[in-house]
Structure 1
Amino acid sequence: MEFEELASIPGVGAKTVERLAELDDPAEAVSEGDVSRIARAPGISEGRAARIARAAIRRRHGDSGAFLATDRAEELYESVLGLLQERAVTAHGRKRLETLYPSASAARIEEVRSFAKGAVEREPTPELLEALSGVEPLESPGGIRVRDRCLATSDAETYAEATDAIPELSVELVDDARDVSDLARGYSTVVVLDEAFAGIELEGDADVRVEPDALSEPAAVVPERTISFFARNRGRLLAAAAVHEAASKLDIGTSIDIDALERALERLTEDGSVDDDDRLRALETAIDDLDAAVSMAEGVANDRLRAAIEERDVTIEGADLLSLVERGAGVDSLLERELSEEFAEAIEAARERLVDAVGVDDYESLARGAFPEEPTFPVEHDGRVIDRLREELSADRDRRATRLKREVAEELRGMRGPAKALVDAALELDVELAVSRFSRDFDCTFPVFGGSGIEIEGGRSPLLDVAFEDVEPVDYGIEGVSLLSGVNSGGKTSTLDLVGTVAIVAQMGLPVPAEGVRTRRFEALHYQAKTQGTLDAGAFESTLREFGSLVEGAEGRLVLVDELESITEPGASAVIIAGILEALAEEDSTAVFVSHLAGEILDATDADANVSVDGIEAVGLIDGELCVNRSPIKGHLARSTPELIVEKLADEGDDSENEGSQTGFYSSLLGKFEGNSD
């Protein structure tokens, strides 16, 4: 997918393409539906990233994206998506699940079904879920700048090439060996790119390398280029490795040597340094503690001299004192004459303390030179020697750190691609496990596509405000246009929600919460939620226009409507609903209208119209509570709650020994209900 193709995705304009261009591989991120990567583009939120990913999928499958035709249908989808996302461990998994949506495209449904059938076989063990908690998408390290090395060349063309090829290092122009020598005093390592400098001899311990081929292998010169990626993502990679170890029986597939990766990562710190070398640690400690060590060494020498002076009676005869004054001598001369042995011992103690504090081989001689033999009080170190010691320790540290980095970089060479695949597989496993957990938690099965309606066997809605195990299973089949009648609180709306949920989940390509489902592939779901109160004239007209547009192109749609009669007066509602049902029946739609006016609507419906009535029947009242058969009965107009109560009162009167006017009254009322139902 090129940039031109990105611009062809619905909703992706020129500015969005510019923002996506900031990603490493925007075409791959979009084509794979990687919401996390898309959201890293500047100015693109996670919600926007999910919309871009879905739009790309829809474009690939020729999907209009119009399956969810109403707000209530969108609400059901969001609820289902929320249940899926609750079962993902990683933030990436939750974002990735947003690319699953109900589609009218057979190809898209089958694409997800194929993925989901493998996913439900995954076993979400506690160990696996715990390991996933540390996995995140890999990040690219920021700009790397290395200041302890430089490149040197006398050729302007090579200079330009080096600047482009290895921007992490400074590139310096030199004319001769003297220029190189000057550079070596400021850098721990100088890499000379010109063959002409081969055999160059410099004073001191400067690390100067003549490597004409250095630009062909930048990682050898700048191992940080390789290491920084792994250091930045160290925790993520170790977590992904743990996932693969916990999922060893799942065969999620990886081409990387995980043991080798873990060994290399264990040597790294998150700042990109190598942390498993004793000499490197000794050098770093010596540098960090050098000022304190010098101060302590001075203290040792001065304490010893002070004690010696306090213990000694020094006598100076007048001639000697006059001689010292005439020569301009001071306390140093006095120390040399009277306390030479004690001074020597104090200096030696200071030297030993400093050498011991530095603690690095090869630097004893230089450290001892920090305290000269000339007597003085108080004893002071030679700052020039300490500066040189610091410089040499630092250069040694930098050279050793670079060598160690090269070793680790060599171990990690070629692992970046497989490491990315390792993390991607772990993150994708989280998505699969979320689908598996959804399927297991809600006793799901894959639907069978076919037929002209939808048939649900043992369906249980996961959206009810009760524990799922307490939800009563419902059997319900819809073919053509039906009215659904039933008592108040009998489950009509929850049955409608179940039908809508099953249709949405099925056309997401996922297993549905039922023992079995056969369904047609619907073009759209139009779910009209229950209206709160009678509508005013304007809202009423708008609602009629909405249904007018619906019935004109309703073929292949699933239409669910909850108590439309509340929009206006009952008499007018029955007539309007009857007209809508007749139109839907002619358009080969699958529709269910929940209504308390089912009888009145049937009376107003054309006898030739193929409109049936189903009923959620209450079998009676027990202790004032309805006892309901939640599965609708086909071809049955359910009795209302008032009729059940009147029947109960009439039955109680018949069983009473005291017959009276009340019993006759209840029986008479019951007869009117029964007459209306004939």
Structure 2
Amino acid sequence: MRLQEYWGVGPKTADLLETELGVERAVRAIESADVGTLVDAGLPRGRATRILRRATGAAGLDTLGTGDARDVYGDLLGLAAQDALTDGAADRIRVLTPLETQEAAAERLDRVDAATEVWAGLDDAERAAVISAFEQYDEAGAGRRAAVEAVLDLRAVGSDGGGPFARLADLDAEALADAVDALGAVEGEFAAGGDEPLSVGEGADDRLDELRTQLTAARRLNDAALDVLETVRSQGVRSLEAFQSAVISYVAEETGATAGEIRAVAPDEARDESDFVSATLRALVEDLEEQVADRETTVAADLRETLGAAGEEIAAAVDAVDALAFDLSLARFAAKHDLTRPELVADGLAVRGARNLFLDGEIQPITYGVGEHAVAGHGRPSPPSGDRVTVLTGANSGGKTTLLETLCAVALLAAMGLPVPAEEAEVGRFDTVVFHRRHASFNAGVLESTLRSVVPPLTGEGRALMLVDEFEAITEPGRAADLLNGLVDLTVDRDALGVFVTHLAEDLSPLPDTARIDGIFAEGLTDDLDLRVDYQPRFGTVGRSTPEFIVSRLVANARDRDERAAFRSIAAAVGEEAVQRTLSDAEWEG
């Protein structure tokens, strides 16, 4: 396959990958979503991630109907990758995409559930041991020996062989233990059972290391033969025989070879002292080179036999460590954020006790739903079932956009086969998720681009989820109400689901029978004059913006008498009595 047939791989990228990896290895890296190999070849990590997402999950990416939906998708994967146990697991998480079927999503949820149960069952010391094993694996370069060592360490933690650790229990620990030293002795890549020569590294064999040290020293002396000659002459020897003995002793001392080994290669006849030195050193280098080659061949044969016997186990260990790191990384993500397995259903999107993963601090869980569902409120009003569309109204800064973002995150996580931030969730199958944030640009170009973004998903064959925020922000309010009415009607007609945020509920024409209006209410000001909001929508009720609360805060925080008088005039417009009630604990100057 030509590399340029992959999305995002142009001529320059193809040339880079072919030069650094070769076509076959580059294709293998792309097909297996191996971000690390592409990055090592010179591709920026972000670009490699985008290429692999398209190569391995193009159909899933089509689920992301808008740029805002893609932003939420990217933020979710970035958040999940923070809990990855290895660099490789983080890369695998970043290339996840929505799955094409709910069956595939359910299978991944099964794996994550099993891993989460195991992770929760580990005590602090065991979790620390797992984290340490994977840290050492990464620090060692995430190669074959590192994988085998990680397997041996992790087997001790997951000794019961349950859940994701089961793949380790099936490996032959004895064969892997025998292979550890052999793997450490082999430099570079090799194929177990192949015919290519092995490169034997330092530490594999004491005698080989000794011979290599002697050879290095002999080469150094050979390169400086004149210095050797002068050094021996300076000892004051008087005869050729004494000179030859002194040379042999000096070379033996400098190289570590025995005098007998050096004498065996020294010339029987030499023209003079210089000829004896140079001939002896050349012969010693040649002899040591031959000994090193012979010894390396013997050691390599032994290593190949050891590695060949454990070849399948080594390959399985590499795969097992990669899979275990991925599963446990997702388990850490689920445990850290208290995520729950959603129920995958044919229709509907409903949550109980849902939280926004991108908010910090104390968060009020929300219960909400649209479409057919069976989620109950459990102490709070249950979201109605059966409505195809909800129109969400209410106070500014009331969490309406945050609710849309939360629903988008729940839908995308479930589509990727991942647990969701809710106590309970039912999530249907959506071919397209349209999430459109409020964009405060008021011109025809923005209106046109917005309509081009949110309408086409309603014209296709699949089912769309529409999450649209404040349509009125991009055109005049009167016409915005007409457009929103049309979008609601189209959503219902196409059997899609939609949640539309607006301040124009009272301007809308009568909604279809399968649409309802919900509201979020501000309830007053806190002692610190911050807006106090009940973020839980009230079903079937139009929310109020309650501007008197905002004006009350401005009056109370006015910097001087003139500024307070100005805000007081605004208070008169919105209802001075309501403002005074809100400021019952604040001084009101007449």
Which interval holds the TM-score relative to the shorter structure? 0.7 to 0.9
Decide which of 402, 409, 415 is 1:501's aligned counterpart: 409
**Distance across 2 between alignment mates of 1:625 and 1:299:** 91
Residue 492 of structure 1 deviates from its aligned partner by 0.9
Aligned to 1:354: 251
Aligned to 2:105: 109
Residue 590 of structure 1 deviates from its aligned partner by 1.9
8 Å contact 1:298–1:380 — kept in the other structure?
no
Aligned partner of 2:311: which letter?
R
**Aligned pairs for 1:236-635 within 5 A:** 236-248=143-155, 249=158, 250-253=165-168, 255-256=171-172, 257-268=175-186, 272-273=200-201, 275-290=203-218, 292=221, 298-299=229-230, 301-305=232-236, 348-361=245-258, 362-366=260-264, 381-450=276-345, 452-464=347-359, 466-467=360-361, 470-479=362-371, 480-536=388-444, 538-541=445-448, 543-544=450-451, 549-552=456-459, 556-601=463-508, 604-606=509-511, 609-622=513-526, 623-635=528-540
Alpha-carbon displacement from aligned partner over 1:590-639 (angstroms, at most 9, x marks no partner): 211111222222xx225x53321111221111232111112111112222
8 Å contact 1:454–1:520 — kept in the other structure?
yes
**Aligned pairs for 1:91-240 within 5 A:** 91-103=87-99, 105-123=101-119, 125-133=127-135, 135=137, 236-240=143-147
Instruction: Decide whether aligned partners of structure 1 residues 368 and 460 sit closer, same or farther in structure 2, where only a CA change above 3 A counts.
Output: same
Residue 356 of structure 1 deviates from its aligned partner by 3.8
SS at match of 1:74: helix
Measured on the aligned residues, the alpha-carbon RMSD in Å equals: 4.3
Residue 506 of structure 1 deviates from its aligned partner by 1.0
Aligned partner of 2:221: which letter?
A
Instruction: Decide whether aligned partners of structure 1 residues 406 and 600 sit closer, same or farther in structure 2, where only a CA change above 3 A counts.
Output: same
**Distance across 2 between alignment mates of 1:664 and 1:269:** 79
Instruction: Decide whether aligned partners of structure 1 residues 485 and 417 sit closer, same or farther in structure 2, where only a CA change above 3 A counts.
Output: same
Aligned to 1:69: 65
Instruction: Decide whether aligned partners of structure 1 residues 301 and 590 sit closer, same or farther in structure 2, where only a CA change above 3 A counts.
Output: closer
Aligned to 1:213: none
8 Å contact 1:111–1:509 — kept in the other structure?
yes
Alpha-carbon displacement from aligned partner over 1:383-405 (angstroms, at most 9, x marks no partner): 33332233222222221221122
Residue 502 of structure 1 deviates from its aligned partner by 0.5
Residue 491 of structure 1 deviates from its aligned partner by 0.8
SS at match of 1:389: helix
Unaligned runs of 5+ in 2: 120-125, 159-164, 189-198, 372-387, 556-567, 580-590
**Distance across 2 between alignment mates of 1:588 and 1:305:** 106
SS at match of 1:413: helix
8 Å contact 2:342–2:424 — kept in the other structure?
yes
Residue 534 of structure 1 deviates from its aligned partner by 1.7
Aligned partner of 2:467: which letter?
L
**Distance across 1 between alignment mates of 2:141 and 2:290:** 27
Aligned to 1:79: 75
Aligned partner of 1:526: which letter?
V
Instruction: Decide whether aligned partners of structure 1 residues 408 and 649 sit closer, same or farther in structure 2, where only a CA change above 3 A counts.
Output: closer
**Distance across 2 between alignment mates of 1:80 and 1:643:** 37
Alpha-carbon displacement from aligned partner over 1:218-237 (angstroms, at most 9, x marks no partner): xxxxxxxxxxxxxxx99712
Aligned to 1:22: 23
Aligned partner of 2:545: which letter?
S
Instruction: Decide whether aligned partners of structure 1 residues 564 and 665 sit closer, same or farther in structure 2, where only a CA change above 3 A counts.
Output: closer
SS at match of 1:247: helix
Alpha-carbon displacement from aligned partner over 1:56-95 (angstroms, at most 9, x marks no partner): xx5xxxx7x5322111111111111111222224443233
Instruction: Decide whether aligned partners of structure 1 residues 445 and 42 sit closer, same or farther in structure 2, where only a CA change above 3 A counts.
Output: same
Aligned to 2:194: none
8 Å contact 1:485–1:637 — kept in the other structure?
yes
**Distance across 2 between alignment mates of 1:648 and 1:283:** 85
8 Å contact 2:267–2:279 — kept in the other structure?
no
SS at match of 2:143: helix
Instruction: Decide whether aligned partners of structure 1 residues 8 and 487 sit closer, same or farther in structure 2, where only a CA change above 3 A counts.
Output: same
**Distance across 2 between alignment mates of 1:398 and 1:662:** 97
**Distance across 1 between alignment mates of 2:418 and 2:274:** 82
8 Å contact 1:104–1:524 — kept in the other structure?
no
Residue 30 of structure 1 deviates from its aligned partner by 6.5
**Distance across 1 between alignment mates of 2:346 and 2:127:** 38
SS at match of 1:118: helix
**Distance across 2 between alignment mates of 1:663 and 1:359:** 97
**Distance across 2 between alignment mates of 1:273 and 1:644:** 75
**Distance across 2 between alignment mates of 1:638 and 1:72:** 25
Instruction: Decide whether aligned partners of structure 1 residues 620 and 353 sit closer, same or farther in structure 2, where only a CA change above 3 A counts.
Output: same
Aligned partner of 1:126: which letter?
A
SS at match of 1:628: strand
8 Å contact 1:456–1:514 — kept in the other structure?
yes
Residue 451 of structure 1 deviates from its aligned partner by 6.5
**Distance across 2 between alignment mates of 1:636 and 1:73:** 28
Residue 497 of structure 1 deviates from its aligned partner by 0.4
**Distance across 2 between alignment mates of 1:359 and 1:559:** 79
TM-score scaled to structure 1, two decimals? 0.65
Aligned partner of 2:209: which letter?
R
Instruction: Decide whether aligned partners of structure 1 residues 572 and 667 sit closer, same or farther in structure 2, where only a CA change above 3 A counts.
Output: closer
Instruction: Decide whether aligned partners of structure 1 residues 101 and 286 sit closer, same or farther in structure 2, where only a CA change above 3 A counts.
Output: closer
Residue 457 of structure 1 deviates from its aligned partner by 1.1
Alpha-carbon displacement from aligned partner over 1:190-230 (angstroms, at most 9, x marks no partner): xxxxxxxxxxxxxxxxxxxxxxxxxxxxxxxxxxxxxxxxx
Aligned partner of 1:487: which letter?
A
Unaligned runs of 5+ in 1: 138-232, 307-338, 651-660, 673-678
8 Å contact 1:370–1:382 — kept in the other structure?
no
**Distance across 1 between alignment mates of 2:540 and 2:112:** 37
Aligned to 2:122: none
Alpha-carbon displacement from aligned partner over 1:157-190 (angstroms, at most 9, x marks no partner): xxxxxxxxxxxxxxxxxxxxxxxxxxxxxxxxxx
**Distance across 1 between alignment mates of 2:214 and 2:532:** 83
8 Å contact 2:266–2:279 — kept in the other structure?
no
**Distance across 1 between alignment mates of 2:266 and 2:8:** 73
Aligned partner of 1:283: which letter?
L
Residue 510 of structure 1 deviates from its aligned partner by 0.8
Instruction: Decide whether aligned partners of structure 1 residues 289 and 458 sit closer, same or farther in structure 2, where only a CA change above 3 A counts.
Output: same
8 Å contact 2:393–2:519 — kept in the other structure?
yes
Aligned partner of 1:93: which letter?
A
Instruction: Decide whether aligned partners of structure 1 residues 116 and 32 sit closer, same or farther in structure 2, where only a CA change above 3 A counts.
Output: farther
Residue 292 of structure 1 deviates from its aligned partner by 3.3
Question: Among the aligned pairs, what percent are the same residue?
Answer: 26
Instruction: Decide whether aligned partners of structure 1 residues 630 and 353 sit closer, same or farther in structure 2, where only a CA change above 3 A counts.
Output: same
8 Å contact 2:340–2:420 — kept in the other structure?
yes
Aligned to 1:638: 543
